Amino acid sequence: MKSLGFPAAALAVSMSAPTFAGEMASEFVLYDAADKCAVIATGGGDGDSGDWESSVCEGWRGFPVLSRFAFGRLFLFFGFPPDGDGPHGRDSFGQPHVFGPGIEWRIETEGEIHRPVATIHDWKVLGEDGNETEVFVVSRVASLADRSGCVVGYVVSTGDEQAHDKALAIADHRAKNFKCGVDKPEIAAGGADLPPLYAEPR
């Protein structure tokens, strides 16, 4: 099992993998809510479903990470969101969880053009039995042109030594042409069951 809790030296590491279009490589960005995020909105109290907080965080070369804590859960959106008010990023886990601290960005290179197409991020979910399950979540990165980002796949890494390779395959071969709101995320759960998911009501 490979964790995305990257040491500082890993930030410069790149890994190549085959794809259908340009060359693919990984770049790692440390997610630090204290130093790399700015709170942009908060709410709570009477008439709300509990306290919530939205932040914009540093991502890859100007591509933001939008994080939101609501309903006792963390929601993430990678890239440029659609115009208008959010919330953006509606998928999380139903049980207590922690995220990070590293985000793996899959970068497609064609000639002089470099663009992120997906992220792989590491979640640890606490089950009712007290055991922890680790999951790689693969997300589509929303570009300025399409502004469409969402979860593309879930790979349970607990008990699966090939989990990271599976996450790379989903990122490289599904994310770019994935239709958010239409296509269903891929689930790879070989070594353990996928923890219950939570989708925020629309």
Distances, alpha carbon 11 to alpha carbons 30, 72, 106, 115, in Å = 8, 30, 13, 18
Higher pLDDT, 147 or 84: 147
Residue with tokens 């963390």: 74
Confidence (pLDDT) at 1: 47
Cβ contact 159:55 at 8 Å = no
- What's 157's DSSP letter? -
Q: Is the dihedral of CA 173, 177, 180, 183 positive or negative?
A: negative
Residue with tokens 């064609």: 110
**Partner residues linked to 188 by β-bridges:** 155
Confidence (pLDDT) at 10: 35
Structural domain spans, the chain: 8-31+91-199
* DSSP sequence for 102-154: EEEEEEEEETTEEEEEEEEEEEEEE-TTS-EEEEEEEEEPBPTTT---EEEEE
Residue 83 has pLDDT above 90, yes or no: no
Task: For 30-64, write each residue's pLDDT tens digit.
Answer: 998 888 999 999 987 655 556 899 999 999 999 99
- What's 79's DSSP letter? B
Residue with tokens 């399409």: 146
Confidence (pLDDT) at 33: 85
